[in-house]
């Protein structure tokens, strides 16, 4: 059983670049995919605000920068090698070859890609690249407020090539998980489980922040958290509905599901909050939106709108209680990447196997039937893909961190951590009054201070 | 000369300002502070993390007055800031050795008397 | 006289689901409507920032949450019943039937909707849903900083079904106002007048904040107000140009008008400010943008670009002076929902009747002629629709609030209001320093405090 | 040699409004251009945050307002006269005529524009208008925290008509620079060099802030700077890929280049920071993104993706070192409009002549060959266009400022500057605690203060 | 009555609060301040502009205590706030003439003793 | 020992810091405050709401000095902070009973003398 979305392309002969039955280039699909790519790119800054608002103000910039730099370092790595490794039609079932390295041969025609597309291949490359960027950025939420920035830069860049790219190959590039019949519409396994597990491992390798569990560490700017959640949702329409690669009925159902699942998750989360403490929290609502989005991601184009409502509602529970547990545990997965993306991603991947259906809202836009449509086996296939992703992601992240640790220390000193990562890692503060800062001139002598008094 | 330092509830600031105005106290400095006293702690929750806010928002008044003004100043604050519930705050009266008005160099009582 | 935008569909036989002359599904229209739906959804968080910046920092989260929860509660209510009540082709002239309840029968084909559309019916449902969400959120601006959150949740959800949905039916769902020939391109009556009047009534029922009129209540973060206004404008392109339901010339004129009317309103408002106080205010500019958008909303696809400039310019006046008056009055419509959306919506609805024209910029994209094009009667029809909306909205909001008040108290206690709604309703603060917060552990015992000293 | 993008239109006879070979109106192109126009409009508020975060909090609103008011004043001026002057097919090689003044004759057909377009002419007018708005707003970065607001309003509006419009005519409206064969895909010369030089001149005419060089003036909110950079990038996809005027392969390459060039610039900038001070700064990363975008702008649709990576990487250097130099100089181009946009724009314009190629990624979407493709002369043409832009922009900005200075003083008083521009120019503060503000009632008597005590 | 004013590192605030709690000091007011002492200046860079931050974030405690409580209060702060590195801060003990509890009008020692 | 408390204009902070530096005063603590004195009230407008800002931004210096340093400190502040216009601020000199350096436990004069 093959991944049907690739079938048109792969049937002709996996690895062959010129494909006879390539569909025509579509301006309408191009229009939507231009927008969708921009929307997914916006998710990374959105994440910067979601994460940045949750930390203390002395680490706000550091946390935001962990996402922002992915736009550069991971983006460039993707263009240079990542794309080819993940999605070249060549290579084998485990890894692509380097035919597209340095974007060599990635054309403006809709030809040559591993999948049958109706938009310029180059644009499709860019769209896929935005996924790699956000996934790398997601991991950073587990290790905020303590990792040396140069070490992070190195880790993140390597991770995008060594962890993300192969996994993308397996699921989306005609690799062995696709062969097995595992389905992941927009990245439950490749993006969210992957990021969640890597974050978990990274949090364990890095260790807890020195204040963790000893004093309360509170979000310094909850409106930023809400802003981030809102922009993530907005961008996620590009992520999920863009994963139909065109302005189709498939994109439409993915879009509607991306609107309804977080809505349902929000309602359930708010009611859980209300029941447990009598108060609906803003951080909770922001988190619920993200969890709802994570859960629907692998299923977006494969399930009906009513199933999306159910998936959002059901999906809120595991992550909600995982976060409650985590906060009381000794695990400093600081911004709950595991509970949100890892657990949410697993829930979504499994539920995709439960709710998947070929005919959705009267049209055959789905690709397979799940448990409820009479194909219980699909749940097992999904679960198997989850296991593979968990294993690979955990192992490789561990190895990479140890490797980076050999090159340069991973942790900031306790003193730097206490002073704040913004000042010590970036030489900046997020919010300054300007009072008491002395301008330093070229000569190295502060202006406005008598040289005499200095000595 | 005395320095009257008062810690009051933020929601009472405007009332206190008004009362001081009526008491003809013209010069003062305020700042936002956080206090802990007998107030019941309020509980907040951020995702799974439950915290007790031990500190409550307060506003601190600092008023330099000549000796004869101490009593009216204290009285004005006391009546305007009181709600009768725990957390109303405190007033401290500190001795001052010297006061200067930066603009003119005037000292002590002259320094705190507004110029018409 | 019927609402021509529905004619294609309704002529065949109102209520018939299968329509012979349904136009073809268009990928280009779908591309635009995917984006437009995302844009309108973004308006609700945008509104959260517009409103949230205007209140005191101790109520910032509460105010933002009033908008954010609409994304969940109203969104789900829309999918479950709201859509069917508003826009099912069945029912009568006053209310739709429940054929689409739980999205039953809402297909991915462009068939079955009350209007003739060229995009998947399901996507159209979602697009319409985003309107209901933002409208409910708009109302909250009148009652910030004093309403108990659980009561608000209940009120807002009921309101979306009992007030919004019927009104949408009357104007857009082939109801009696459509029959009468009242025109509302993107929601002057259904959205803005409706929200403005409901806000007014809610402000009166709830009563003023205890500090209102006694001390100055200033915006805590004007940049957030500007951010909100900017994102509202951006989203409003989806709102207005999306109301053409396709990437058409109609969408283009609606888009251009949505750009020019607020521009003109901004200029007039700034000059009014300058004349009156010598200073152009930022809150004023943000308000002007919103008012300009409100005014053009009912007319967006029905008037020429020059008329849009005029409507924006003219429309600034009533709202500007209404706000001056309101601030001096005893009415605590805290964020001027009535002056902005109510008055602005009425101005727009009437001016639509004045400036409407069938042929716009050389193309027959309009649907009717207004006063200036020789049809003075249209102004009366518009005015009648306004009256109906005002009456219904006021009455039902009053009833709903009284009803909710029976179930659970509407107002927060004076003490909670003084402490701040964020802490008392949500158990959170918008901006924390983190100092002085003691971590509470599972056992209920704060960590880092000796149990002995506690007793 | 003519500007090929206009050839279809102009060959028939420059100035003729009805063009026989006009292509057909395309719904797909319209869909993309609706979005693109919205995206470019969003860039101006984005700039407000980029700039606003970089100044002190006492001038945050003033700085943001300098961008926001452009949305109104420049937008209206564009519709009334600017569009016609820049882009009417009539007039001569230096200036358009007034045939489109007040949008007269700007139709919803894709006819009558100076270029061959497939979208409604009116929408194209709006798209071009958003460029004028952002360009005017860009200039303000040079003169923040010291210019009287009414003088700024007047200057900015006049500038948009007298400086921007003619330059746009020369390059894009079939003017003499187009005739010469100078290429500028999305505005390197018209937008960035123009804004950079005008900013430089304005900074010199206005003089330095009184604290400049005497004390440190620090950004009050770096997260806002990051938010601005992110939204600018997002909007820039509309700016560059929208400059293909349709959802074409040209738009796709422009899009991909707009993603890759800033990514490369970010990497280089971060590494420069790391090498020089050991710390990657957040303000630096935000700046790098903008510089990368500026550099690729003139080349976006004319160079390959690999060239875009190179251009971004190369382009980072001149601006990086120009900023280092500027900070130590006596030039108070406060937010480095010259170093960022002026220098970045020149680098981009020249490199466009170096990297331009007709066939990109296997498809002939480019319009000319540059140096590397065997046409060294193109570099000279580009350089000549740069010189013309620099000269015109500098001269006219100088004249306009002197003119405005005659009508109303340009500089705020030293006292107002010290107090802060927000309070003195706008009568508002960006962030208030609300404490100590006394409500003033209609009677002019502050409420809550006994009238007796007042006298 | 005395007013104990202490300037400490922000990261030590929770420790100090806890130590004071153990020393049975219940009422206090804190505020965020910036200080300059012997600490090494930290350098920041914004684009080309290099600045030396002469001021470091500190937190200021202000605690009104009756005379017998001065020593334990000082001791509690001293031990909880110390890291041994430059920048640990200072404690000032100021004389107070009068203290009032706003809520009740109680004076002096009665004003700072918590009600059970 | 004395505690010098000075309220100055924010725009004068850097000048005051510099003057204190020249006067060899090394330790100090500042905080942002708001003050009311003889300054003309500034009017702000938010939509229709007109408000008078009675409070102006100021910065508060708190400087513990040994007795012999009081005069130079006051003089330094006085000259650096003066503009001659209403609103320049005040200086209060308060008696201090005891000063401790947290890092070492040193007391009084030793506590405020910087270590080389
Ligand atoms: N001993 C003290 N020293 C300094 N500030 C105090 C002291 N006691 C109380 N405060 C301040 O006064 C506020 C209210 O104090 P609290 O003791 O709760 O009030 P009450 O006097 O009504 O019992 C506290 O939040 C704190 O800011
Ligand atoms: N003389 C003083 N007056 C007021 N505050 C002071 C004084 N000296 C130091 N401080 C405060 O104490 C903090 C630490 O002082 P510093 O002299 O660096 O510490 P140490 O005592 O370890 O040498 C300073 O940042 C400042 O806030
Ligand atoms: N009596 C006072 N007590 C405390 N602070 C004062 C007092 N008088 C003035 N101030 C502070 O000094 C600032 C300037 O005072 P003001 O009286 O206007 O100046 P001037 O001394 O030039 O007349 C005020 O804003 C306030 O912060």
Question: What confidence tens digit (pLDDT) does each residue in A12-56 have?
Answer: 333 334 444 669 999 999 999 999 999 999 999 999 999 999 999
The C-alpha atoms of residue C287 and residue D413 are separated, in whole angstroms, by: 29
Distances (CA, A) of C22 to C11, C87, C336, D45, D334: 12, 17, 43, 41, 59
Tens of pLDDT along chain A (455 residues)? 234 455 443 433 333 344 446 699 999 999 999 999 999 999 999 999 999 999 999 999 999 999 999 999 999 999 999 999 999 998 899 999 999 999 999 999 999 999 999 999 999 999 999 999 999 999 999 999 999 999 999 999 999 999 999 999 999 999 999 999 999 999 999 999 999 999 999 999 999 999 898 888 899 999 999 999 999 999 999 999 999 999 999 999 999 999 999 999 999 999 999 999 999 999 999 999 999 999 999 999 999 999 999 999 999 999 999 999 999 899 999 999 999 999 999 999 999 999 999 999 999 999 999 999 999 999 999 999 999 999 999 999 999 999 999 999 999 999 899 889 999 999 999 998 766 677 776 544 444 443 333 32
Tokens representing A336? 């709950």
Tell me what pLDDT residue C18 has.
41
What are the backbone dihedrals phi and psi of residue C131, each rounded to the nearest 5 degrees, phi first? -70, -40
Quote the minimal CA–CA distance from E87 to chain A in Å: 12
Tell me, what's the pLDDT at C7? 40
pLDDT of residue F47: 85
Sheet holding E49-53, edge to edge: A437-440, E49-53, E42-46
Residue D8: is its pLDDT beyond 70? no
Contact F34, F56 (CB under 8 A): yes
Cβ neighbours of E97 in B, within 8 Å: 2, 93-95
Q: How far apart are the first and last CA of chain F?
A: 21
D274 touches E at CB < 8 Å: no
- Most confidently modeled range among B33-47, B102-116, E84-98: E84-98
Structure token digits, residue D90: 């009539």
Closest residue of chain C to B13, computed from CA coordinates:
C215
What DSSP designation does E37 have?
S
Quick one: which H or E segment has residue D134? helix D121-139
Residue D450 in contact with partner chain B when CB distance is under 8 A: yes
Q: What secondary structure, in 3-state letters, does A279-320 show?
A: CCCHHHHHHHHHHHHHHHHHHCCCCCHHHHHHHHHHHHHHHH
Neighbours of D310 (CB within 10 A): 18
Q: Residue D447 pLDDT more than 70?
A: no
Instruction: Give the residue, out of F3, F29, F60, with the most ligand 2 atoms within 8 A of its beta carbon, to mutate for a pocket test.
Output: F29
Distances C211 to A220, B59, C342, E72 between C-alpha atoms, Å: 27, 18, 25, 42
Sign of CA dihedral A180, A185, A186, A188: negative
Best residue for ligand 1 mutational test, from E4, E21, E25, E27 (most atoms within 8 Å of Cβ): E27
| Helix A282-296 vs helix A343-355: crossing angle, to nearest 10 | 50
Among candidates E14, E30, E32 on the partner chain, residue whose Cβ is nearest the Cβ of C448: E14
Closest in D35, D229, D305 to A122, CB measured: D305
Point out which residues pair with B45 in neighbouring strands.
B50
Could you tell me how far CA C425 lies from the centroid of its own chain? 24
Residue range F44-98, pLDDT digits in tens:
888 888 888 888 889 999 999 999 999 999 999 999 999 999 999 999 999 999 9
Predicted complex ipTM: 0.94
- Report the percentage of chain F scoring pLDDT > 70: 97
Judge whether C257 and C303 are in contact, CB under 8 Å: yes
Instruction: Report the residue count for chain E.
Output: 116
What pLDDT does residue D392 have?
Answer: 98
Which chain B residues are Cβ-neighbours of E111 within 8 angstroms? 90
- The answer on pLDDT for F27 being more than 60 is yes
Average the pLDDT over D135-148 and give the result: 98
Please state which of the ranges B37-46, C354-363, D356-365 shows the lowest mean pLDDT: B37-46
D305 interfacial to chain A (CB closer than 8 Å) = yes
Predicted confidence band of residue F40 (pLDDT cuts 50, 70, 90): confident
Low-confidence ranges of chain C (pLDDT < 50): 1-4, 7-20, 444-455
Mutate to test the interface with D, among C43, C262, C362, C365 (most CBs of D within 10 A): C362
Alpha-carbon distance C123 to C33, whole Å?
A: 8
Q: What is the CA radius of gyration of chain D?
A: 23
Query: What would the two tokens of residue A18 be?
Result: 């010129």
Taking an 8 Å cut-off on Cβ atoms, the answer to whether B18 and D433 are in contact is no
Per-residue b/e over B13-42, b at no fewer than 16 CB within 10 Å? bbbbbbbbbebebebbbbbbbbbbbebebb
C-alpha torsion A180→A186→A187→A189, nearest 10: -30
Domain assignment present for residue E95? The answer is: yes
Distance CA D57, CA D47 (A): 16
Which chain C residues are Cβ-neighbours of A255 within 8 angstroms? 34, 37-38, 123, 126
Domain count, chain F: 1
Give me the residues of C, 164-223, that contact D with CB < 8 A.
Answer: 213-223
Q: Which ligand is nearest to the CA of E32?
A: 2
**Residue ranges, chain E, pLDDT below 50:** 116
Is C106 within 8 Å of A213 when comparing Cβ atoms? no
Nearest CA distance, E86 vs chain A (angstrom): 13
Q: In which domain, by residue range, is C402 found?
A: 12-414
Question: Shortest CA distance to D300 belongs to which of D192, D213, D219?
Answer: D192
- Give the torsion sign (CA, C96, C101, C103, C109): negative
Candidates C232, C374, C355; CA nearest to C301 is C355
Query: Is position B47 within any domain?
Result: no
CA angle at A334 for the pair A332 and A335, rounded to the nearest 5° = 145
End-to-end CA distance of chain A: 79
User: Distance, in angstroms, between A211 CA and closest chain F CA?
Assistant: 21
Query: Given this model, what pLDDT does residue C21 score?
Result: 60
Helix (H) or strand (E) holding E53: strand E49-53
User: In the structure, what pLDDT confidence band is assigned to residue D439 with cuts at 50, 70 and 90?
Assistant: confident
SS3 C429: coil
Whether the Cβ atoms of residue D232 and residue D138 lie closer than 8 Å to each other: no
Confidence of residue B116 (pLDDT cuts 50, 70, 90): very low
Q: Report whether residue E72 contacts ligand 1, using a CB cutoff of 6 Å.
A: no
What is the residue whose two structure tokens read 């210019």?
Answer: D147
Mark which residues 178-237 of C lie under 8 Å from B by CB.
Answer: 211, 214-215
Does some domain include residue C7? no
Query: Is residue A1 in a domain?
Result: no
* Residue E51 included in any domain: no
- The 10 Å CB-count burial string (b at 16+, else e) for A396-414 is bbeebbeebeeeeebbbee
State how beta strands F56-65 and F28-36 pair: antiparallel
- What gap in Å lies between CA C227 and CA A237, rounded to an integer? 21
* Spatial separation of the C-alpha atoms in residues A427 and E46, rounded to whole Å: 8
Ligand 1 within 6 A of CB of E106: no
Cα–chain center distance at D435: 39
Nearest to residue C175, comparing CAs of C65, C62, C52, C14?
C14
Contact pairs from chain A to chain F, CB under 8 Å: 21
D156-199 confidence digits (pLDDT tens): 999 999 999 999 999 999 999 999 999 999 999 999 999 999 99
Note the pLDDT of residue C436: 65
**Contact residues, chain B, for A328 at CB < 8 Å:** 48
Q: Is D330 on the interface with E (CB under 8 A)?
A: no
Instruction: Give the per-residue pLDDT at F115.
Output: 57
Q: What is the reported pLDDT for F39?
A: 78
Q: What is the mean pLDDT of residues B34-47?
A: 84
Give D-chain residues touching F81 at CB under 8 angstroms. none
Q: How far apart are the first and last CA of chain C?
A: 79
Instruction: Write out pLDDT tens, residues B24-36.
Output: 998 999 999 999 9
Residue A49 included in any domain: yes
Look at residue E50 in the predicted model and tell me its pLDDT: 86
Residue D147, domain CATH:
1.10.3430.10
> Nearest-5° angle of CA A333, CA A337, CA A340?
125
If we measure between CA atoms, which residue out of D303, D223, C290 comes closest to residue A46? D223
Domain assignment of residue F48, yes or no: no
Residue F6's closest CA among F102, F70, F100?
F70
Distance (Å, rounded) from C-alpha D60 to C-alpha D64?
6
Q: What is the DSSP string of D380-417?
A: HHHHHHHHHHHHHHHHHHHHHHHHHHHHS--BPPHHHH
Joined tokens for residue A335: 């911004």
Q: Cβ–Cβ contacts within 10 Å for residue C402, how many?
A: 11
Task: Please list the residues that pair with B44 across neighbouring strands.
Answer: B51
Residue C278: φ, ψ to 5°: 80, 0
Least confident segment among A261-275, D211-225, D387-401? D211-225
- Mutate which of B29, B62, B73 for ligand 3 pocket (most atoms within 8 A of beta carbon): B29
Between strands F56-65 and F2-8, the pairing is antiparallel
As a whole-number percent, the residues of chain C with pLDDT over 90 amount to 87
Residue E45 lies in a domain: no
For chain B, report the end-to-end CA distance as a whole number of angstroms.
21
Three-state secondary structure string covering C21-49: CCCCCCHHHHHHHHHHHHHHHHHHHHHHH
Give first-to-last CA distance, chain E, whole Å. Answer: 21
Domain that residue E62 falls in? 2-39+56-112
- Match 């068939």 to its residue by tokens: C111
User: What pLDDT, on a 0 to 100 scale, did the predictor assign at position E114?
Assistant: 67
pLDDT tens across D18-56, in order? Answer: 444 669 999 999 999 999 999 999 999 999 999 999 999
> At what angle are helices C282-296 and C343-355 packed, to 10 degrees?
50
pLDDT of residue D14: 36
pLDDT at D436 (0 to 100)? 65
What would the two tokens of residue C366 be? 């309009």
Contact D252, D234 (CB under 8 A): no
Assign D147 a pLDDT band (cuts: 50, 70, 90): very high
Tokens of B57: 């928002």
Ligand 3 pocket residues where CB is under 6 Å: B 27-29, 62-64, 101, 103, 112; F 7, 35-39, 56, 58, 86-90
Q: F touches which chains (3+ CB pairs under 8 A)?
A: A, B, C, D, E
Residue of A59, A427, A430, A446 to mutate when probing chain E, most E C-beta within 10 A: A427
Q: Cα distance from A144 to chain E (closest Cα, Å)? A: 17
* Number of domains present in the structure of chain C: 1
CB contact under 8 A, B114 and F38: yes
The H or E element containing residue E34 is strand E28-36
- Say if the Cβ atoms of D283 and E46 lie within 8 Å: yes
Q: Give the residue-averaged pLDDT of D278-287.
A: 97
Structure tokens at A450: 């008598």
* ∠ Cα D22 D25 D30 (to 5°): 130
- Considering only CA atoms, give the Rg of chain E: 17
| CATH classification at residue B61 | 3.30.70.120
Q: Is E36 in the pocket of ligand 2 (CB under 6 A)?
A: yes
Q: Report how far residue C409's alpha carbon sits from residue C392's, in angstroms, rounded to the nearest whole number.
A: 24
Does the beta-carbon distance from E94 to F3 stay under 8 Å? yes
């Amino acid at each position: 059983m093959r991944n049907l979305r690739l079938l048109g392309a792969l049937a002709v002969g996996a690895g062959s670049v010129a494909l006879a039955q390539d569909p025509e280039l579509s301006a309408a699909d191009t229009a939507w995919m231009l927008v969708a790519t921009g929307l997914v790119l916006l998710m990374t800054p959105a994440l910067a605000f979601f994460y940045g608002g949750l930390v203390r103000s002395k680490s706000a910039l550091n946390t935001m920068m962990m996402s922002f730099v992915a736009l550069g370092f991971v983006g460039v790595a993707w263009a240079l090698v990542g794309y080819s490794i993940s999605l070249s039609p060549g290579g084998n079932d485990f890894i692509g070859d380097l035919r597209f390295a340095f974007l060599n041969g990635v054309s403006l025609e809709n030809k040559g890609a591993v999948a049958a597309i109706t938009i310029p291949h180059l644009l499709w490359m860019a769209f896929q690249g935005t996924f790699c960027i956000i996934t790398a950025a997601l991991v950073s939420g587990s290790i905020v407020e303590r990792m040396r920035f140069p070490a992070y830069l190195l880790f993140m860049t390597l991770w995008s090539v060594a962890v993300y790219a192969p996994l993308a190959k397996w699921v989306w590039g005609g690799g062995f998980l696709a062969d097995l019949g595992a389905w992941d519409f927009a990245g439950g396994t490749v993006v969210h489980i992957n990021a969640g597990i890597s974050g978990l491992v990274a949090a364990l390798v890095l260790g807890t922040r020195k204040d963790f569990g000893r004093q309360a560490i509170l979000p310094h700017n909850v409106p930023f958290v809400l802003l981030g959640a809102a922009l993530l949702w907005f961008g996620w329409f590009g992520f999920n509905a863009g994963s139909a690669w065109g302005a189709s009925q498939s994109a439409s159902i993915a879009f509607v599901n991306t609107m309804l699942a977080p809505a349902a998750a929000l309602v359930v989360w708010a009611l859980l909050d209300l029941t447990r403490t009598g108060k609906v929290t803003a951080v909770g609502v922001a988190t619920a939106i993200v969890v709802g989005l994570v859960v629907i991601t692998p299923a977006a184009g494969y399930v009906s709108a009513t199933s999306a409502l159910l998936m959002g509602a059901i999906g809120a529970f595991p992550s909600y209680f995982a976060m409650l547990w985590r906060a009381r545990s000794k695990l400093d997965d600081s911004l709950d990447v595991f509970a949100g993306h890892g657990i949410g991603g697993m829930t979504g991947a499994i539920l995709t196997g439960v709710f998947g259906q070929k005919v959705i809202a009267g049209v055959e836009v789905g690709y397979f039937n799940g448990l409820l449509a009479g194909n219980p086996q699909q749940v097992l296939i999904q679960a198997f893909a989850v296991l593979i992703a968990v294993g690979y992601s955990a192992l490789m992240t561990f190895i990479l961190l140890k490797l980076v640790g050999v090159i340069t220390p991973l942790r900031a000193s306790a003193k730097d951590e206490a002073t704040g990562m913004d000042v010590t890692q970036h030489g900046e503060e997020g919010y300054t009054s300007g009072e008491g800062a002395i301008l330093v001139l070229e000569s190295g002598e502060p202006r406005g201070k008598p040289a005499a008094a200095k000595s | 000369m005395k320095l009257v330092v008062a810690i009051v509830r933020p929601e009472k600031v405007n009332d206190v300002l008004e009362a001081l105005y009526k008491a003809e106290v013209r010069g003062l400095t305020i700042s936002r502070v956080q206090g802990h006293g007998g107030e019941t702690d309020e509980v907040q929750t951020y995702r799974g993390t439950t915290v007790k806010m031990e500190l409550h928002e307060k506003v601190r008044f600092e008023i330099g007055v000549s000796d004869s003004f101490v009593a009216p100043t204290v009285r004005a604050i006391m009546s305007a800031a009181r709600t009768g519930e725990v957390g109303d705050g405190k007033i401290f009266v500190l001795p001052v050795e010297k006061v200067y008005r930066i603009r003119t160099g005037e000292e002590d009582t002259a320094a705190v008397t507004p110029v018409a």
